[in-house]
């Protein structure tokens, strides 16, 4: 299957939301974390007021705060009025509408602020997971993973905006043979500190990533997501376990492939060149390529399975077309099945 989560993120992000490295993304998110704070405010102390012709959210004795698009959306949702309707009103009229419709229960609002701006507004059951904490876990447990090549528009796969965060990471050195194809591990992970989206991860093994950040020919795709409730830390633990699982599977597959190569370096294709030639031709290799590969292998020493596969792979580099080279490489690699 082809995976498009990173592709979708690529075309909805502005340039200032993209980060070149996991370190720079963490620094941004850590700075946001240290500069933000939760305020528990009784419903009767939350109001909408006009300040210098702008609609603000007043939080009791904490004073007036500006709103971004997301926190304004949440305020309207809490008041059970549509944002589009409120946007058509003057600030003064909008404040009166919200004053009349905001709930006045006993459970406090959880108001998340950064400096003098409200980032989000939640009920008492919402539990936050900071982006910086999620990225710190990635830095500890996904040490071999890094962003893919930059996309056609400069997108990096590492994003953090006003509402959420998204990471696309791959292991560029983790290529292993699965069947007759080469795959490498990767994953997407996402979160929102302000309730815009769930916490989640999608792990996979892939064959290619294009310049639009579409992941091609993915297998072993696993996905997990969870809401920001009191058990959100369990969700972080699950994500860590899924990353650990893909790392362990990568290591197991690499060890298995390494063991196969060791066997191929010891096993011979036949008692002599004639028998080796027959065995190579049985695997779909042309007579001329088989003959030349065996000659190269003989010059370097024993007629092992690996020496012939290596010789055939070198010969395929002469092909002008990528498709022809890929097909020839696959046939050469099929000789490894003789020692599997």
pLDDT number for residue 54: 92
Q: Any alpha helices (H) in 88-178, and if so which ranges?
A: 91-101, 131-141
Please give the Cα distance from 332 to 263 (Å, whole number).
16
Helix/strand/coil for 223: strand
What integer pLDDT is reported at residue 257 of this predicted model?
66
pLDDT, tens digit, 9 for 90 and up, residues 117-150: 999 999 999 999 999 999 999 999 999 999 999 9
Q: How large is the greatest C-alpha to C-alpha distance in the chain, in angstroms?
A: 94
Q: Left if phi > 0, otherwise alpha if psi is -120 to 50, otherwise beta: which for 63?
A: left
Beta 36-41 vs 109-114: how paired, if at all? antiparallel
Q: What is the pLDDT of residues 66-120, one digit of tens each?
A: 999 999 999 999 999 999 999 999 999 999 999 999 998 889 999 999 999 999 9
| Nearest-angstrom CA–CA distance, 217 and 202 | 15
The dihedrals phi and psi of 2, each to the nearest 5 degrees, come to -105, 135
pLDDT score recorded for residue 268: 83
Q: What is the pLDDT of residue 320?
A: 54
In the numeric block, which tokens belong to residue 164? 């959420």
Spans in the chain with pLDDT lower than 50: 322-323
Would you say the C-alpha torsion 289, 291, 293, 296 has a positive or negative sign? negative
What's the rounded Cα separation, in Å, for the pair 142 and 320? Answer: 38
User: Phi and psi at residue 266, in whole multiples of 5°?
Assistant: -100, -35
- Note whether 168 and 9 are within 8 A (CB): yes
């Amino acid at each position: 299957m082809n995976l498009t989560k990173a592709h979708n993120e690529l075309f909805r992000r502005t340039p200032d939301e993209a980060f070149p490295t996991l370190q720079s993304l963490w620094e941004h998110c850590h700075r946001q974390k240290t500069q933000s704070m939760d305020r528990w405010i009784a419903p009767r102390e939350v109001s909408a007021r006009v300040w210098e012709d702008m609609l603000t959210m007043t939080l009791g004795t904490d004073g007036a705060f500006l709103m971004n698009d997301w926190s304004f959306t949440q305020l309207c949702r809490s008041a059970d009025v549509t944002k589009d309707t409120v946007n058509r009103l003057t600030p003064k009229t909008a404040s009166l509408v919200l004053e009349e419709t905001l709930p006045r229960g006993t459970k406090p609002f959880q108001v998340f602020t950064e400096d003098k701006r409200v980032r989000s507004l939640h009920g008492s059951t919402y539990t936050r997971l900071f982006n910086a904490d999620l990225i710190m876990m990635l830095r500890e447990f996904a040490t071999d993973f890094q962003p893919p090549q930059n996309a056609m528009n400069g997108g990096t796969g590492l994003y953090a905006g006003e509402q959420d965060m998204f990471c696309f990471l791959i292991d560029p050195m983790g290529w292993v043979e699965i069947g007759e194809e080469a795959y490498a591990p990767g994953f997407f992970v996402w979160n929102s500190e302000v309730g815009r989206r769930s916490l989640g991860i999608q792990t996979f093994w892939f064959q290619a990533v294009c310049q639009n950040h579409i992941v091609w020919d993915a297998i072993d795709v696993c996905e997990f997501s969870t809401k920001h409730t009191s058990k959100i830390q369990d969700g972080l633990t699950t994500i860590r376990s899924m990353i650990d699982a893909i790392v362990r599977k990568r290591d197991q597959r690499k060890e298995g492939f390494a063991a196969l190569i060791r066997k191929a370096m010891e096993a011979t294709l036949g008692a002599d060149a004639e028998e080796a030639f027959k065995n190579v031709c049985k695997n779909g290799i042309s007579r001329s390529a088989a003959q030349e590969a065996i000659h190269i292998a003989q010059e370097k020493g024993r007629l092992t399975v690996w020496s012939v596969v290596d010789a055939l792979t070198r010969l395929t580099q002469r092909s002008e077309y990528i498709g022809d080279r890929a097909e020839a490489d696959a046939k050469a690699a099929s000789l490894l099945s003789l020692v599997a």
